[in-house]
Amino acid sequence: MRNKSIFIAVILALFSMTLVVAQSDKQKSLEAERNRILKEINQLNSLNRQVKKKETSVLKQVEDVNYKITIRQNLIKVTNEQANQLTREINNNQKEISQLRNQLQALKEDYAKMIVKSYKSKSEQSKVMFLLSSENFKQAYKRLQYINQYKDYQKKQAEDIKIKTQKLQTLNLELAKQKEEKKQLIAENRNAKKALELEMKSQEELMAIIRKDLKKYNAQIKQKRQEADRIDKEINRLIREAIAASNKKAGKTSSSVEFALTPAGKALASNFEANKGRLGWPVDRGVVKLKFGLQRSLIDRNVTENSFGIRIATEKDAEVKAVFDGEISQIMLIKNANPAILIRHGNYLTIYRNLSKIYVNKGDKVKAGQEIGKVFTNKSSGESLLYFRITKNSQNLDPERWLSKN
């Protein structure tokens, strides 16, 4: 029965330790995500300060304020999760502190009884007399063992009291720290909500301007979408040409929609794939202003458009870097558009569009992090935007799933 109780106690202790570790990991994950969002907000504010002297269109202002609202909502959500997680950890720590206090009280009472008993024992007869009164050597040896075990038990009780006291003090300090962290998070969230209210008010004011001349702004969006579609179609055509040329060189059918890979190409593709979620960014600093996939129109939520990649707002004259080792497959010179670079990584491709300068040539081998060009900066708006795509053969992939969160 006693062994069963010990087993249950051990299981509960292990479960408690696992829960504490899981909670700690969750808190670290939330803190990392909150810091990432705060960094994104700071980068956006920094980029906006760079272009604030330029004349900004209403549509650009709507895009910016919509983006701010989205990341501000994400910040509030993550901060709420952090505060709730801290509440759970605070409750668990308070429960453990209460249990420790009870255990400590019981240990101290038990230890006090032992001291009193030991004192009485000394006054009634000495340890020597206790040993000498033994009937034989075996009994004397057992009595000596008992005396030593009793001393050891007293020491262990004293050590347990010391350890639990230290743990209690540590938990109390951790609890105070957690309560202060929660207080700060609540204050930060209050400020974030005030900022969100101002941004939503700004959004409504801008939408009121747009509603006065909806036809004009719809025409502007349509024109931009058509131009983007034209460029994307040209890039898709060049990707198909790259696949066909590669397969022809390898002696394969040129009608295939997939690259024919050499052993070296397979190894490179496998290495690229293994680094999903850890690829370096194509620019040192920037924020994703347009995400991958179906996106709702800025002014008509019922209208959607398909984005084959992402659009990164970055600094003026930002250097563009290869996100992984590869070979320059194409330098794309597109009519009425800024140049683009296509880098092949086995059967994966990365595309860097809207460049002002190009530092590489077709066929060059490049390394991850190597500078390959410079982002074009629009003189009228002051914006520096990099359009970035990743494909596997001709299939478009979400770049944000492949790039490092850092």
CA distances from 241 to 41, 231, 246, 255, 262 (A): 40, 15, 8, 10, 18
Please name each of the domains of the chain with its CATH number: 2-212 (no CATH), 215-401 (2.70.70.10)
Round to whole Å and give the CA distance between 287 and 388: 12
Question: How confident is the model at residue 126, as a pLDDT?
Answer: 55
Give Cα 273 to chain centroid, integer Å: 19
Is 202:62 a contact under the CB 8 Å cutoff?
Answer: no
Among all chains, which residue has been given the structure tokens 């794939």?
A: 273
Report which residue type is found at 257: V
Round to whole Å and give the CA distance between 388 and 368: 15
- Quote the DSSP letter at residue 399: G
Is 308:389 a contact under the CB 8 Å cutoff?
Answer: yes
Helices (H), 133-260: 137-212, 214-249
Round to whole Å and give the CA distance between 6 and 96: 19
- The 10 Å CB-count burial string (b at 16+, else e) for 70-92 is ebbbbbbebbebbbebbeebbee
Is 340:351 a contact under the CB 8 Å cutoff?
Answer: yes
Among all chains, which residue has been given the structure tokens 């009608």?
A: 255
Can you tell me whether residue 41 is helix, strand or coil?
Answer: helix
Round to whole Å and give the CA distance between 294 and 246: 31
Question: How confident is the model at residue 278, as a pLDDT?
Answer: 94
Is 100:168 a contact under the CB 8 Å cutoff?
Answer: yes
Among all chains, which residue has been given the structure tokens 């705060």?
A: 38
Q: Which residues partner with 106 through β-bridges?
A: none
Question: How confident is the model at residue 10, as a pLDDT?
Answer: 45
Query: Residues near 286 by Cβ (< 8 Å), separated by ≥ 6?
Result: 43, 47, 312, 313, 314, 315, 318, 386
For 84, the enclosing helix (H) or strand (E) is helix 58-124
CA distances from 139 to 116, 118, 253 (A): 25, 20, 96
Round to whole Å and give the CA distance between 189 and 306: 34
Structure token digits, residue 288: 């994703």
Give Cα 364 to chain centroid, integer Å: 34
Can you tell me whether residue 303 is helix, strand or coil?
Answer: coil
Taken as a whole, the chain contains a residue count of 406
pLDDT tens across the length of the chain (406 residues): 444 444 444 454 544 545 455 557 877 887 887 787 777 777 777 777 666 555 567 777 888 888 888 888 888 888 888 888 888 887 877 787 777 777 767 767 766 666 666 555 554 445 555 545 656 666 666 655 665 666 666 667 667 767 777 776 777 777 777 788 888 888 888 888 888 888 888 888 888 888 888 888 888 888 888 888 888 888 888 888 888 888 887 777 766 788 888 899 999 999 999 999 999 999 998 889 889 988 877 676 667 788 899 999 998 889 999 999 999 999 988 888 899 999 999 999 999 999 999 999 999 999 999 999 999 988 877 889 999 999 999 899 999 999 998 6
Concatenated DSSP letters for 315-365? -TTPEEE-SSSEEEEEEE--TTS--EEEEEETTEEEEEESEEEE---TT-E
User: Is the whole model's pTM more than 0.85, yes or no?
Assistant: no
Give Cα 17 to chain centroid, integer Å: 24
Structure token digits, residue 292: 């991958």
For helices 58-124 and 214-249, the axis angle rounded to 10 degrees is 70
Question: How confident is the model at residue 7, as a pLDDT?
Answer: 47
Round to whole Å and give the CA distance between 354 and 376: 6
Structure token digits, residue 115: 């001291």
Question: How confident is the model at residue 270, as a pLDDT?
Answer: 95
